[in-house]
């Protein structure tokens, strides 16, 4: 029997942001919206969040079947964030989640914000799909990392993304210095993200730790009306004392040698 | 006077591919198409390519003014590929290219495929925009790197992109081994691209050089009808002897420890 495909479905970057949210057509192409409206089998991080997103899709691209009749499975906790993508996936769990595709139906892996499996759970499910010879089809949508990288003016030919930095102050300071050393040695821009409510504290910490001439990029609320992205030497960031409002918005941070 | 913004305009991933090309609505959201149809001032790699893209946009989202009346400037050769993104931009060149924004008009930086300034020229122009206090607004569209990363099942929490590998066989072998060592040491997935006509030779070379158990991802023709992405141990790739057709499609390569 022909297997179904696993579609990777991106989501807008406004998860957890204050209403009014921009229309999904701002960031999701028609082909992505059409797939979202058609697919009956879903794997996601949180079923409630997915239903809220599909309601927004339904407003511009009517769903092929009622929201209540969709089959939605959640990624197990053990596969979330840090545990995911390490080593071989648990194939018993994977076969259950991928059962629709194994039975010949197209299915979706959804994200809460941006692309699934990029700074987001899901990599284990995708790895398992490859092992089970299920075709994987990524759909186009927004990625805060990619948008920040393009809009930073920093090195987009060579770059590295590091996920979240350590929360412990000492460990974070040493990680920031290590990323700074890396970009001075290689020229590659270095990127990371933080949970919104910690953004301001992280920025202040980075400004303490980094060299005055190192270039720092902060991109926040990308694709939203509040979208803001700046690349400046650390010393110029230090001179900006006003409240930055960063703690309410998803943000991406990057640094580079001058 | 209020300055205009610099919009970063992504392009479909079918540049140089055989017709029929998929509709632009497959990969560009309505908001991106609307901006493309409105913006009168453009900077791009090649004016002819840009006009061909805008004709495709016009078919689904009519342009606000005739194609012939758009003001299109090309990025100087010195800023292409490897020279771009290194050190401070030439501000005399930048002020000329960014003149519309300095005079209060919104303008666009366009790519031939994917996001401008990511594995693509344009970073110097964006850096200059930040230095001149011109707002930079990235629009959503496809990025082969991001799509391959998501669909690979490899580590999407920690990854590095390296642009093009050296063409010299010896230098390339040593670079491939170095990337392999890096992923074994750090767990981060390692990514690069190649010019389509060299894809098959590069793949065969990588299969010679890398360890049998190292995971290799090859994603080609992403977003196109021929879209194909697989992640397999090197030893499994070696067992696949059929012609791969890779030399006609844009492709992204990634590797990871198992």
Q: Give the tens place of pLDDT for each residue, A10-54.
A: 999 999 888 889 999 999 999 999 999 999 999 999 999 999 999
Query: Over chain A, what is the mean pLDDT?
Result: 94
pLDDT at residue B85 is higher than 80: no
Q: State how far the Cα of A173 lies from the Cα of A22, in Å rounded to an integer.
A: 36
**With an 8 Å Cβ cutoff, are A223 and B27 in contact?**
no
Q: What integer pLDDT is reported at residue A105 of this predicted model?
A: 98
- Tell me the percentage of chain B whose pLDDT exceeds 70: 96
Distance of CA B20 to the CA centre of its chain: 21
- Looking at residue B242, its pLDDT comes to 63
Instruction: Quick: pLDDT tens for B33-62.
Output: 999 999 999 999 999 999 999 999 999 999
| pLDDT tops 80 at residue A78 | no
Contacts of A253 (CB under 8 A, 6+ apart): A191, A192, A193, A194, A202, A203, A206, A216, A217, A218, A219
B146 and A145: CB-CB below 8 Å? yes
pLDDT at B241 (0 to 100): 61
Q: What is the mean pLDDT of residues B148-162?
A: 96
**CB-based contact B127 A154, cutoff 8 Å:** yes
Q: How much is the pLDDT for A120?
A: 83
The answer to whether the Cβ–Cβ distance between B147 and A138 falls below 8 Å is yes
Higher-confidence residue: A82 or A49? Answer: A49
pLDDT in tens, A116-132: 999 888 999 999 999 99
The answer to whether the Cβ–Cβ distance between A158 and B161 falls below 8 Å is yes
Given a contact cutoff of 8 angstroms between Cβ atoms, the answer to whether B119 and B145 are in contact is yes
Residue of B nearest to A34 (CA): B26
pLDDT of B121 reads 85
Select the residue from B33, B34, B150 to test the A interface by mutation, using most A Cβ atoms within 10 A. B150
- What is the token pair recorded at A255? 């640094």
Measure Cα distances from A118 to A46, A134, A251, B189 in Å: 17, 19, 15, 11
Q: Quickly state the pLDDT bin for B104 (edges 50, 70, 90).
A: very high
Distance from CA of B71 to the nearest CA of A (A): 22
**Could you give the count of Cα atoms lying within 13 Å of B96 in the half-sphere of its Cβ?**
9
pLDDT at residue number A55: 97
pLDDT of residue A13: 96
Q: Which residue in chain B is spatially nearest to A145 when comparing CA positions?
A: B146
pLDDT of residue B125: 95
Given an 8 Å threshold on Cβ–Cβ distance, is B163 in contact with A162? no
Mean pLDDT of chain B: 94
Which long-range contacts (C-beta less than 8 Å, at least 24 apart) are formed by B22-25? Answer: B22/B223, B22/B224, B22/B225, B23/B56, B23/B60, B24/B53, B24/B56, B24/B57, B24/B60, B25/A29, B25/A30, B25/A31, B25/B60
With bands split at pLDDT 50, 70 and 90, how would you rate the model's confidence at A240? confident
Instruction: Tell me whether residues B151 and A157 touch, CB distance under 8 A.
Output: no
Question: CA-CA distance, B40 to B38, in Å (whole number)?
Answer: 6
Is the per-residue pLDDT at A173 higher than 80? yes
pLDDT at A40: 96
pLDDT tier at B78 (50, 70, 90 boundaries)?
A: confident
Residue B18: per-residue pLDDT:
86
Q: Is the confidence at residue B244, as pLDDT, over 80?
A: no
Hey, how many other C-beta atoms are within 10 angstroms of the C-beta on B258? 11
Q: Name the residue among B123, B146, B156 with its Cβ closest to that of A156.
A: B123
The answer to whether residue A102 scores a pLDDT higher than 90 is: yes
What is the DSSP-derived secondary structure letter of residue B11? B
Least confident residue range of A3-7, A72-76, A91-95, B240-244 = B240-244
Is residue B65 pLDDT above 60, yes or no?
Answer: yes
Position A150 pLDDT exceeds 80: yes
For residues B122-129, average pLDDT: 94
What is the mean pLDDT of the segment spanning B111-135?
A: 93
Using pLDDT thresholds of 50, 70 and 90, give the confidence band for residue A242.
low
Largest CA distance in chain B: 64
Q: What's the mean pLDDT in B201-220?
A: 96
Query: Cβ contacts (< 8 Å) between A84 and chain B: which residues?
Result: 157
**What pLDDT score was predicted for residue B45?**
93
Q: Which of A151, A214, A215 to mutate to test the interface with B (most CBs of B within 10 A)?
A: A151
Structure tokens belonging to residue B85: 């993104």
pLDDT (tens digit per residue) in A193-232: 999 999 999 999 999 999 999 999 999 999 999 999 999 9
């Amino acid at each position: 029997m022909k297997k179904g495909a696993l579609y990777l479905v991106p989501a807008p970057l406004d998860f957890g942001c204050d209403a009014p949210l921009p229309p999904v057509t701002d960031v999701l192409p028609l082909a992505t919206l059409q797939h979202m409206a058609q697919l009956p089998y879903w794997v996601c991080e949180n079923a409630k969040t997915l239903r809220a997103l599909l309601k927004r899709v339904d407003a511009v691209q009517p769903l092929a079947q009622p929201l209540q009749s969709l089959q939605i499975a959640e990624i197990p906790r053990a596969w979330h964030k840090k545990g995911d993508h390490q080593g071989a996936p648990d194939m018993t769990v994977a076969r259950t989640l991928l059962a629709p595709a194994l039975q010949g139906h197209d299915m979706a892996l959804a994200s809460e914000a941006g692309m699934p499996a990029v700074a987001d759970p899901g990599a284990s499910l995708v790895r398992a799909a490859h092992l089970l010879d299920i075709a994987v089809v990524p759909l186009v949508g927004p990625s805060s990392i990619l948008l920040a990288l393009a809009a930073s003016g920093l090195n987009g030919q060579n770059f590295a993304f590091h996920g979240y930095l350590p929360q412990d102050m000492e460990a974070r300071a040493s990680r920031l210095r290590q990323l700074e050393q890396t970009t001075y040695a290689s020229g590659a821009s270095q990127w990371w993200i933080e949970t919104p409510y910690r953004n301001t504290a992280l920025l202040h910490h980075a400004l303490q730790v980094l060299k005055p001439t190192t270039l720092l990029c902060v991109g926040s609320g990308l694709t939203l009306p509040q979208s803001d992205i700046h690349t400046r030497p650390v010393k110029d960031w230090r001179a900006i004392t006003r409240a930055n409002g960063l703690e309410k918005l998803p943000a991406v941070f990057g640094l580079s040698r001058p």
